[in-house]
């Protein structure tokens, strides 16, 4: 859903100053074949963390040739039992395919309807733009998904971090009322996620 380009390509000059949308173009005389290829997905991500998952981003920041082209991809690795926690992408619809293992994929609509399915290798999913979604590895071994976005920089709002580990944190009076729990629970969440 990014705006349409007005030229073949505009490989981002990452040293240039970002403008209103995207990055300035590297001069065409400095563009080489290497600019259009990205090896960032060849290595498994480190899933040794609290969620048991790892997102390797193939967005414009990692792969500058995507600048102005309106799409990007992620490599998402999962340890057994690992989750990609509930999150949303403010600037893109997401599609993905399971490359290894077995994933429960789910999202919630703005009407609060939960849609989910367990997918195996070769199966594809779509997450409408901006909706909260997650994946959980429900197989015995590791799992791997490749995801794609109709934005060069879809952004990710990770709900656990956004709600309980912002800087500075959201006041407890807001969170206790929003979640209808006592302050000690909010404090625990803030400590665990910080």
Is residue 84 near ligand GLV by the rule CB under 6 A? yes
Q: Between residue 136 and residue 175, which ones bind ligand GLV under the rule CB under 6 A?
A: 147
User: Shortest distance, CB of residue 76 to ligand GLV, whole angstroms?
Assistant: 5
Q: Using CB under 6 A, pick the residue from 94, 137, 151, 175 that binds ligand GLV.
A: 94
Q: Minimal distance in Å, beta carbon 135 to ligand GLV?
A: 6
Could you tell me the strand order of the sheet in which 132-137 lies?
114-120, 102-108, 132-137, 83-88, 157-158
Partner that binds at residue 104, options Mn ion, ligand GLV, none, CB closer than 5 to 8 Å by kind? none
Residue 17, Cβ neighbours under 10 Å: how many?
Answer: 7
Of residues 72, 81, 78, the one with CA closest to residue 98 = 78
Contact 25, 11 (CB under 8 A): yes
26, interface contact from ligand GLV, Mn ion, none, CB < 5-8 Å by kind = none
Closest alpha carbon to 137 in 57, 64, 54, 74: 54
Count of residues touching ligand GLV (by CB under 6 A): 8
Minimum distance between the CB of residue 169 and Mn ion, rounded to whole angstroms? Answer: 24
Evaluate whether 131 touches 87 at the Cβ level (below 8 Å): no
CB of residue 12 to Mn ion, shortest distance in Å: 22
Structure tokens at 5: 């380009």
Q: Which residues bind ligand GLV (CB under 6 A)?
A: 55, 74, 76, 84, 94, 133, 135, 147
């Amino acid at each position: 859903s990014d705006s349409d380009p007005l030229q073949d390509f505009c490989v981002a000059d990452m040293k240039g100053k970002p403008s209103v949308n995207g990055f300035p173009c590297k001069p065409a005389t400095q563009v080489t074949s290497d600019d259009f290829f990205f090896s960032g997905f060849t290595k498994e991500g480190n899933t040794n963390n609290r969620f048991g998952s790892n997102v390797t981003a193939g967005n414009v920041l990692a792969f500058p040739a995507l600048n102005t082209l309106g799409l990007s991809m992620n490599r998402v690795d999962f340890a057994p039992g690992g989750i990609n926690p509930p999150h949303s992408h403010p600037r893109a619809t997401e599609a993905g395919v399971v490359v290894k293992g077995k994933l429960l994929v789910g999202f919630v609509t703005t009407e609060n309807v939960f849609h989910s399915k367990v997918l195996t290798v070769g199966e594809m999913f779509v997450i409408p733009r901006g909706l909260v979604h997650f994946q959980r590895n429900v197989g015995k071994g590791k799992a791997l998904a490749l995801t794609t976005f109709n934005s060069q920089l879809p952004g990710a709002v990770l709900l656990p971090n956004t709600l309980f580990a912002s800087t500075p944190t959201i006041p407890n009076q807001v969170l206790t009322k929003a979640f209808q729990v006592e302050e000690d629970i909010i404090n625990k969440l803030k400590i665990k996620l910080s």
